[in-house]
Amino acid sequence: MRRNAHPKTVHTADDRSVDGDGEVHSDVAGLQRAVPRRGRRAGRLRLYGRMAVNDVARNRVITAALVVLMLLSVLLGAASTGTLVRLVGASSDLLARADAPHVAQLHAGEFDQDELDRWVAGRPEVDHQQTMLLLGIDGANLSFAGQPQTESIQQNSLVVPSTERDLLLDLDNRPITQVEPGTIVPPVYHERQSGLEVGDVVTITGPDSYAKDLTVAGFARDSIMNPAIASSKRLAVAAEDLEQVRAHTGAEERLLAFWLEDPAAQTAAFQKAYQDAGLPQAGPMVDAATFRLLTMIGDGMVAAVVILVAALLLVVAVLCVRFSFLTAVEQDYREIGVLKAIGVAPRDVRRIYLTKYALLAGVATLLGLGGGLALTPLLTRNIAHYMGSATGSWVWIAPVLAAVLILAVLVLFLLVLLRRFDRISAVTALRAGATSQPRRARLRLHRSRLPVQFRLAAMDVVGRWPVYVLLFVVFAVSSFIMIVPVNSATTATAPGFVNYMGIGSVDVRIDLRHDGPTTMADVDDIVDRLESDPSAEVVAATVTTRNDTVDRDGVATSLYTANGDHTLLPLTYAEGRAPTDGSEIALSLLALHESGREVGDRLPVTVDGEIVELLIVGSYQDITNGGRTAQSVLPTDGAEVVWSTIGVQLATGTDATTAARDYGERFAPARAAAIGQWQNQTLGPVVDQLQVAAGVAVLVALALAVLMTALFVRMLLARDAGPIAIQRAIGTDDAGLRRQYLSRVLLVLVLGVVVGTTAANNLGEAMFNLMFEAMFGGFDVLFQGTSQIDFVVDPLLAYLLLPLALLVAVATATVASSRSIATASIASLTTE
Amino acid sequence: MTTPTAAATAVLDARGLTKDFDGHTVLDDVDLQVREGAFIAVMGPSGSGKSTLLYNISGLDTMTAGDVRFAGERLGSMSQKQLARLRLTTMGFIFQHVYLLKNLNLLDNVVLPAYLAGLAPRGELNERALTLMARVGVVDLADRDVTEASGGQLQRIGICRALINQPRILLGDEPTGALDSVAAAEIMDILGQLNEEGTTIMLVTHDPSVAARTSRVLYLIDGRIVGDRDQGRFLGTGLEQRHRDLTAWLLAQGA
């Protein structure tokens, strides 16, 4: 026997790669037997396939987790794309089937159809005009199945459905042209939000104990007033019922609908011409683009969030593929060397690995696409109910394209990764048996006072940080997707949020629509009565007028200006201050953006028929009235008055809800709402969706963190088989090793949570503002700073409970996954 | 000259030690006593169960049957945690490939078991590690990384790590197997000196020239001790003769 001669492979002194593994050698042997067949392509491919299958079988858990991750990414990507396509399709379909108007003007008060007809006759771009009578029923006079609607901010109106255009559709998207007397067809909104069912009784009451019962015969889709955010609702009844109710109660309003020859080109000019003509305009004017935006915003936001989550998952999946790939290569390093040594071309070695991951990605894509297509109908249930189902081939093509795109990203990434193979030389692979270049230890154990396992954990995380990047990104992403929706929901429900709704710190808000010269007297009367009421401490009335102004391009446009003393109940100004007289004006951020001016500039505004240059003294956030509002102290005796708002700050100890109910009864038909309630109802659907999104996001984030931690820890243990065996041999107990691995994961978790939370508070806040910008300004004003909402953070939730939940989930996953530490043995490292 | 005169108590007492693996008996009813101060080589062909014997008497592996007492304590009745503690404080291990942790520098590798045991203040442990390293001639390397030392130097570091907790026994699995003959001889000189000073040592080896330097040689075939040769303490001279005698003996055992 020769000294030092060892029958096996050559080792360096610090070699600790897994060796003596039966499987490894049988693979190599199999390959060597296969060498003579190298020229035969089919045989080779079979071999690569078999190696891939063997590898999958060897790392079942890791493979499964990787597939799940890719699958989820494809699933969410396909489902959200499908949702968006269906949303766009269904809303277009609804608008088309209902023949929705291109421009609609609501008008309350005096109305002369002949005058309008004469004007229309002189406008060649108007294809058609239709007027519909809306009989507004005050919430106090309306009850659904015995539930009074006093607290609803929806303006409910009875209508006789049109038979030609601007149709109401039934749930099969067929026009409702006829409603049986004694029945009523409310919009889908009331089925979903007010809990009405077919067969329920809607009761309308009036003075002199008038009561009219109507039975719900079905529900209608209303192309222009479908969503909650459009605060008017049309309830279809028979003509005779409408006339009967009209004799007793109700505020008349007309919906003047216009169809244009070329809506894309003519809408803006038409709206301007209409307003200039002094035609009936006591109410808001909206166009088809707005209907569409309002219709799509809620579900569109959800779909956008899901797309974002899918993209984040794709990033994690890509990192995970990288980590898993490097682990596999590290484990198979010597085999790769053997393959190269026996003359297999690098291209073919690459193919072995490509086969494996491409198979996995392919399987994940197919399953994910199937899941996504199955999930889409669930996600679009709401859309389908409000708008009907979209049809057409894009509903199927788009999710497939999304899945193919994700697969392409994964495969491209793999190809980039696989280029590494060319850098492995046969000799170094056989000798070194490890891919990672050892780097100099940076921290010193012997200079530390920390507990040994914790110190070792810190040293490993610092010394091998690239290994931990995957986990770090996962934790940062998890905290981000947990905190952003939660903070968004917290912000939108925070009491201070009314500041962004163009309202100062009021407790009760009273709204009064103008429908004649008497309304101003009503406002004064209400203010007088409130001022003598001890429960009301501060009363501030504003009268909103519509004034003409010009936008940045010099095109005339109109602006809702609230006039009154804005210093009584001030709101928070983004810049500047409240206007104090008729020469000054404050603009909402969106209005300011559209005017193309800045605070300190002058804005031409038409007041009483004359153009006045007003000084812009302030800007503020407003998300009401489309986000385009102004504040000033202009004269309010002209015809431009649209509505009045009275803000009340209550004396301490007065309950806002009670006071609002009391005012509502005393000052009818003015509508009074406690500010929290008003905020809730105005933002309600958005907040609901945010809260659902927040709940789902927390669950998704926790699931992602748990899955990835389990996967990562298992892969790390596989990689660290050597060091673990060494530590056990020198007397480290399993509990100590588990503590070390737990410390590593938790250290990375702390870093990830800090970064994720910081990003959530900055980037997340920006995203939240973008959402509002898109909601109120459309896509044109994105990134223009028209929404400047600061996140309201609930520190207990965002900084303690959520990170704690993540910590518990991650720690549990780590402990559960590190049970296999006990199987790592020095015996498996030694060549017997 | 059979055994050391002082403290002739058994550090290790194994009876009926049996290990089955996948229905195959790797160790078959082995009886073995190791006295305090002994210097033992375990030899045998590949697959004879040499390393398995080492792992079973140290609690790294779980025996199938038998009774092993280490310093009077029954291994079979100890928990994994107690076994780990036993290895940490009373046994020192050296391996063929040393198995140092790459992310620690050499001094850190030596102090790690001491820190884990926590039996003395860390400053004192650092001192002890440097003293040991100075003794085996590698104190200059204290601040180097694992990749910045030769195989022989690394094995000396391995010996320091094994001795840092002042173990009752030093167990070696082919400690010279990956070294050239000069480095191997130096390591054996160090081990011989340690044994002179009272350290109990048990080595698994293929190499008769290593075994020739020990005082007792066990020969294993198919999991049984087929030969047990007491060759007297190594005195530093007559190595050639001892080597020849041992080789003759090994041939007689069927090697």
pLDDT digits (tens, 9 = 90+) for A290-332: 777 777 766 776 677 777 778 877 888 888 787 777 777 776 7
Tokens for A510, please give them.
């009273």
Q: Is residue B113 part of a domain?
A: no
Q: How many CB pairs under 8 A join A and B?
A: 145
Q: Are residues A329 and A430 in the same domain?
A: yes
Interface test with B, best of A14, A428, A435 (most B CBs within 10 A): A14
CB contact under 8 A, B146 and A14: yes
Q: How far is CA A377 from CA A156, A383, A661, in A?
A: 31, 9, 41
Tokens for A655, please give them.
């309950």
Whole-number Å distance between alpha carbons of A444 and B104? 7
Owning domain of residue A463: 444-496+685-832
User: Which three-class secondary structure state does DSSP give residue B12?
Assistant: strand
In terms of Cα–Cα distance, which of A648, A668, A645, A669 is closest to A545?
A645
Whole-number Å distance between alpha carbons of A12 and A24? 19
Kindly identify which residue of chain B lies nearest to residue A7, measuring between CA atoms.
B46
pTM of structure: 0.70
Helix axes A22-34, A41-58, angle to 10 degrees: 170
Q: Are residues A140 and A77 in the same domain?
A: no
| Number of domains making up chain A | 4
Nearest Cβ partner for A733 among B80, B108, B113? B80
Q: Is residue A664 part of a domain?
A: no
The list of chain A residues with pLDDT below 70 reads 1-49, 51-52, 58, 61, 150-153, 228-231, 297-298, 301-302, 331, 334, 420-442, 501-502, 515-518, 623-626, 638-640, 681-686, 689, 772-786, 822-832
Say if residue B59's pLDDT is above 70: yes
Q: How far is CA B12 from CA A536, A823, B50, B72, B203, in A?
A: 92, 26, 16, 8, 14
Q: Is residue B133 part of a domain?
A: no
CB contact under 8 A, A734 and B84: yes
A430 vs B126: which has the higher pLDDT: B126
Per the CB < 8 A criterion, the answer to whether B173 and B215 are in contact is no
Q: Is residue A146 part of a domain?
A: yes
Whole-number Å distance between alpha carbons of A820 and A368? 30
Q: What are phi and psi of A133, to 5 degrees?
A: -85, 130
Q: Are residues A567 and A618 in the same domain?
A: yes
Chain A residues lying within 8 Å of B209, measured CB to CB: 3
Q: Which residues of A, range 591-630, sit inside 8 Å of B by Cβ?
A: none
Whole-number Å distance between alpha carbons of A815 and A741? 9
CB contact under 8 A, B154 and A731: no
Chain A residues lying within 8 Å of B126, measured CB to CB: 446
CB contact under 8 A, A7 and B46: yes
pLDDT at residue number A317: 81
Q: Tell how far CA A149 is from the center of its chain.
A: 30
Say if residue B150's pLDDT is above 80: yes
Q: Are residues A143 and A83 in the same domain?
A: no
Q: Is residue A133 part of a domain?
A: yes
pLDDT digits (tens, 9 = 90+) for A478-514: 898 888 888 888 887 777 777 776 677 788 888 887 7
Q: Is residue A537 part of a domain?
A: yes
Q: Is residue A672 part of a domain?
A: no
CB contact under 8 A, A1 and B206: yes
Q: Are residues A387 and A469 in the same domain?
A: no
Chain A residues lying within 8 Å of B51, measured CB to CB: 827, 830, 832
| Number of domains making up chain B | 1
Q: Are residues A697 and A821 in the same domain?
A: yes
Which residue has tokens 């007559």?
A: B238
Q: From the CA of B5, how many Å to the nearest CA of chain A?
A: 30
| Residue B166 backbone class (left: φ over 0; alpha: ψ -120 to 50; beta: rest) | left
| Residue A589 backbone class (left: φ over 0; alpha: ψ -120 to 50; beta: rest) | alpha
Q: Are residues A68 and A167 in the same domain?
A: no
Q: Is residue B107 part of a domain?
A: no
Q: Are residues A248 and A142 in the same domain?
A: yes
pLDDT at residue number A297: 65
Chain B residues lying within 8 Å of A831, measured CB to CB: 96
Kindly identify which residue of chain A lies nearest to residue B80, measuring between CA atoms.
A733
pLDDT at residue number A33: 46
Say if residue B43's pLDDT is above 90: yes
Whole-number Å distance between alpha carbons of B132 and A182? 102
In terms of Cα–Cα distance, which of A717, A678, A657 is closest to A154?
A678
pLDDT at residue number A222: 87
Whole-number Å distance between alpha carbons of A309 and A79? 12
Q: Are residues A471 and A516 in the same domain?
A: no
Q: Is residue A278 part of a domain?
A: no
Owning domain of residue B244: 10-95+167-253
Q: Are residues A11 and A76 in the same domain?
A: yes
CATH of the domain at B36: 3.40.50.300
Q: Kindly report the CA angle at A754 between A750 and A755, in degrees rounded to 5?
A: 120
Whole-number Å distance between alpha carbons of A680 and A688? 9
Per the CB < 8 A criterion, the answer to whether A817 and A713 are in contact is yes
Q: Is residue A119 part of a domain?
A: no
pLDDT digits (tens, 9 = 90+) for B73-116: 898 888 888 888 988 999 999 988 888 888 888 999 999 999 99
Q: Is residue B111 part of a domain?
A: no
Whole-number Å distance between alpha carbons of A818 and A738? 6
Q: Is residue A54 part of a domain?
A: yes
Q: Are residues A473 and A525 in the same domain?
A: no
Chain A residues lying within 8 Å of B188, measured CB to CB: none
Q: Are residues A617 and A719 in the same domain?
A: no
pLDDT at residue number A805: 93
Per the CB < 8 A criterion, the answer to whether A364 and A71 are in contact is yes
